[in-house]
């Protein structure tokens, strides 16, 4: 059962090339871009891709491992911060910055959700416990509103993530939403100035007639749906 441990150098190299290609392709074409596109971009045969990552899930998971690592670290840092509110803010801002900056990650983040709870909950449980502790401390410090619930943090992250997924180019909107949310979580209302608003317009959202090319290009589906 003990695997060779010694991996051929070219294999390791190819693995990295595939991961980089996957990030690029997922960022450009969405999480369900053809596997072949990833392989081509990596300069590698499909078989090699499938050998390293038997399923799309495995590939996505590995491709964004660093990002998840960053999230996880941000939680630890938040917990270690001298002021729990600062910790909370740090957590939110770190995760949201990741959503904003790492193209394709929001989709992976959202996609991770529905199937999240079932098994493996090892690290998940721990994260939950840490979050609960952080929230309790921040509430007790008086900075966080007393009716704040840990799930509100998740709610905020998912909402932000969903917005970024829909509007991947609007960093202004992302920053502004984060600022609004953080302000609404404070117990007092230190109305710190908000970052500048985005250029979003109501556009055709309420319009009845729609031009061509409206929704067709990658018609989008709800990320969280059991097959």
Binding site for DNA (CB under 7 A): 4, 6-11, 13-14, 32, 34-36, 43-48, 50-52, 54-56
Tell me if 22 contacts a copy of itself by CB under 8 A. Answer: no
Tell me if 36 contacts a copy of itself by CB under 8 A. Answer: no
Tell me if 8 contacts a copy of itself by CB under 8 A. Answer: no
Quote the least distance from Cβ 35 to DNA, whole Å.
Answer: 4
Tell me if 51 contacts a copy of itself by CB under 8 A. Answer: no
Stretch that binds a copy of itself, among 1-9, 11-19, 35-43, 186-194 (CB under 8 A): 186-194
Q: Which is nearer to a copy of itself, 43 or 132 (CB)?
A: 132
Which of the choices a copy of itself, DNA, none does residue 176 contact, using the CB cut-off of 5 to 8 A by kind?
a copy of itself
Among 3, 5, 8, 221, binds a copy of itself (CB under 8 A): 221
Stretch that binds a copy of itself, among 2-10, 12-20, 43-51, 55-63 (CB under 8 A): 55-63
Q: In the 3-class helix/strand/coil scheme, how is the chain assigned residue by residue?
A: CCCCCCCCHHHHHHHHHHHHHHHHHHHHHCCCCCHHHHHHHHCCCHHHHHHHCCCHHHHHHHHCHHHHHHHHHHHHHHHHCCCHHHHHHHHHHHHHHHHHHCCCHHHHHHHCCCCCCCCCCHHHHHHHHHHHHHHHHHHHCCCECCCCCHHHHHHHHHHHHHHHHHCCCCHHHHHHHHHHHHHHHECCCCCCCCCCCCCCCCCCCCCCCCCCCCCCCCCCCCCCCCC
């Amino acid at each position: 059962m003990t695997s060779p441990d010694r991996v051929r150098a070219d294999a390791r190299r190819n693995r990295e090339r595939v991961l980089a290609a996957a990030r690029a392709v997922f960022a450009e074409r969405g999480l369900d871009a053809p596997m072949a596109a990833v392989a081509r971009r990596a300069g590698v045969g499909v078989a090699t891709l499938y050998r390293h990552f038997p399923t799309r899930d495995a590939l996505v998971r590995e491709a964004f491992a660093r990002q998840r690592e960053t999230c996880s670290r941000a939680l630890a840092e938040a917990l270690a911060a001298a002021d729990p509110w600062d910790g909370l803010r740090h957590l939110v801002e770190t995760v949201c910055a990741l959503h904003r900056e790492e193209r394709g990650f929001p989709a992976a983040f959202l996609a991770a959700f529905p199937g999240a709870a079932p098994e493996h909950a090892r690290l998940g449980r721990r994260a939950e416990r840490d979050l609960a502790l952080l929230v309790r401390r921040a509430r007790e410090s008086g900075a966080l509103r007393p009716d704040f619930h840990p799930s509100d943090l998740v709610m905020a992250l998912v909402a932000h993530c969903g917005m970024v997924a829909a509007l991947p180019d609007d960093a202004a909107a992302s920053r502004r939403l984060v600022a609004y949310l953080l302000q609404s979580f404070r117990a007092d209302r230190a109305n710190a100035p908000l970052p500048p608003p985005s250029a979003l317009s109501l556009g055709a959202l309420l319009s009845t007639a729609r031009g061509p090319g409206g929704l067709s290009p990658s018609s989008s589906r709800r990320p969280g749906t059991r097959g």
